[in-house]
Amino acid sequence: MGIAIHARQMAAQAAKLLDNEVSALPLLINKPLIIALAYPSASGAATGCLPAPVPQAQANDGKGGCLDWTALNQPNNPGSVSLDLQAQADIYEVMLNAINTRPWVGGIVSRGYYPPAMLQDKSASVHGKPAADLLWYWFPRLTGVVK
């Protein structure tokens, strides 16, 4: 049940973000919007805060910082962040569901895609990861080929 609640919370947050923060732009420019998704396959990706290494002086006060998602691009591999392929897939599933119901979205781009190799790492590349299967599933639905 905890996973279902988390998924509903993520879906509500995705809808809120799209409707309250993004939807005004395509109305203003009178053009459909292309959404760029960039979520690493790492713990903390859903919160937008990838745990940064905490200096020893801050270790006891619990005040760690957040890494930018690009800090996980190859060849980086910060030990403060753990690999979580399912987290990336869950976020893509929520976002693709939310995007599919908004007619003002004209398409999506998966940022950080690394074509030369299938990476099983913490980067935002979906190549060879479960999130890529979601893009394969959603592509014909987002383009209207499949209802």
Q: Which helix (H) or strand (E) holds 141?
A: helix 130-142
DSSP H or E segment with residue 110: strand 105-110
Find the domain containing 51 and state its range.
2-142
Cα–Cα distance list, 112 to 22, 36, 101 (Å): 21, 10, 25
pLDDT computed for residue 93 by the predictor:
93
Cis previous bond, 40, omega within 30: no
Cα(86)–Cα(89) distance, rounded to whole angstroms? 5
pLDDT of residue 1: 41
Q: Is-contact 50 81, C-beta < 8 A?
A: yes
Q: Read off the tokens for 8.
A: 């509903």
Write out the chain's pLDDT in tens, 147 residues.
Answer: 455 657 788 888 889 989 999 999 988 999 989 999 988 888 777 777 777 776 544 444 455 677 776 767 666 666 767 889 999 999 999 999 999 999 999 989 999 888 888 888 888 899 999 999 999 999 898 888 887
Based on the structure, what is the number of domains in the chain?
A: 1
Q: What is the pTM of this model?
A: 0.77
Tokens of 13: 């947050």
Q: Which pLDDT score is estimated for 136?
A: 93
Does 147 fall in a domain? Answer: no
| CA distances in angstroms from 16 to 21, 92, 99, 101, 135, listed in the order given | 8, 16, 12, 13, 22
Q: What's the pLDDT at 69? A: 67
Residue 133 lies in a domain: yes
